[in-house]
Amino acid sequence: MFISHLDKITIVKGDITEENVDAIVNAANSGLMGGGGVDGAIHLAGGRQILEECRAIIKKIGRLKTGEAVITSGGKLKARYVIHTVGPVWHGGGSNEKSLLSNSYRDSLRIASENGLKTIAFSCISTGVYGFPKELAAQIAYDTVKESLKEYTSIEEVRFVCFDDYNYKLYLNLLDNDAENGI
């Protein structure tokens, strides 16, 4: 595992299901039933309890809208909670995708703050099968988190957990640029 850090933001290369934080953020689908990629890995590692809680949420609300988030327990994960958010599918940039992605990060932080959570780890939302360009997604995620931490001051650490070298380097460059500019 590689780690880089600046104030409240940490960049980690690793497996989000192994993070020992208050909450990890799942790049979920609108039905919250698990699936492929990060979503499937979190449901598999966390066990049946997460799925049952997701079913109860869906029974109550129907489907989770893009850009919104909900919280469940962490089941068998090291994290106490999972915040599930639905990122946008990339349609070329003309369908409000940037704003919806930003909302996914902002709403996840709002839920963390409202639940008194101090540490939260994000996966790379919408950059897998949803096709969001990785460079743009990283910039939006990083900027949204930086700005949101001004409002959600009780959050002590936000980790961006990148499974691969490519995403890790993208986030590391954003962090390094801030460090070089004294931010």
Q: Which of 15, 22, 39, 178 is catalytic?
A: 39
CB-CB contact of 113 with 105 (8 Å):
no
Q: Which residue has the tokens 């850090």?
A: 5
- Is position 39 annotated as part of the catalytic site? yes
Catalytic residue ranges: 39
